[in-house]
Amino acid sequence: MTLGPGDLADRLSEALQVYVAAMGYPPSTARQRRALWLDHVRRPGWRATGWLDDRGALIGIAYGYTGGPGQWWYEEVRRGLRGTAAEARGWLRDYFELTELHVRPDAQGSGLGEGLLRSLLDGVPEGRVLLSTPEYGPRSPGRAWRLYRRTGFEDVLRDHRFTGDSRPFAVLGASLPLAPPAPVSTTGPR
């Protein structure tokens, strides 16, 4: 379902619970992120989508907006790209920032994340999408990494440290529109 700013505000506690559970963060993190998420709805190009279970509970959330100079994330990534090839720095032109994409852990692994991703990015006018995700490494990717690789995301910046966070992050990017999903075989292996 498409979420407008008012919809997100109405479901913010629920959305933040999904975020905290999906990321494995302490519950207090939700209080810290509340104002930030509400501030993001005022960014140019902001859009959001959510997924509800059969009881109407939010089990997945994704949102983002048009990225650009002066925004914290843009400036952090620009700092990380200093000294890299012009091609890498070019990712910071005409992009949509996928800010959040989270699925409640008990609902993961069913394709819901890809559905949220594709729904959110459908019709985005920017030519690219960028995101950051914790760095798990190429030998032991988590579900998020598999989703991003499967949908065409490539490395833009690896092992980046955002100000205030000691964990390494990867910045990944894809051209828009995303390639269509791979067909699912109905015949099985031969």
H or E, element range at 145 = helix 143-150
Torsion of the alpha carbons at 120, 122, 128 and 132, rounded to the nearest 10: 20
Would residue 148 show up in a list of annotated catalytic residues for this protein? yes
**What pLDDT, on a 0 to 100 scale, did the predictor assign at position 182?**
78
Phi/psi at 173 (nearest 5 deg)? -140, 155
For the cut 60, the answer to whether the pLDDT of residue 72 exceeds it is yes
Least Cα distance to 128 among 82, 77, 165, 79 occurs for: 77
Per residue in 119-155, pLDDT tens?
Answer: 999 999 999 999 999 986 444 468 899 999 999 999 9
Residues 118/181, Cβ–Cβ less than 8 Å: yes
**What pLDDT, on a 0 to 100 scale, did the predictor assign at position 184?**
67
Choosing from 63, 65, 95, 148, the catalytic residue is 148
Domain 2-175, CATH among 2.60.40.1180, 3.40.630.30, 3.40.50.2020, 3.40.190.10: 3.40.630.30
Residues 21/105, Cβ–Cβ less than 8 Å: yes
Average pLDDT, the chain: 92
| Pick from 37-51, 81-95, 102-116: least confident | 81-95
Residue 131's DSSP bridge partners are 172
Least Cα distance to 5 among 39, 53, 34, 30 occurs for: 39
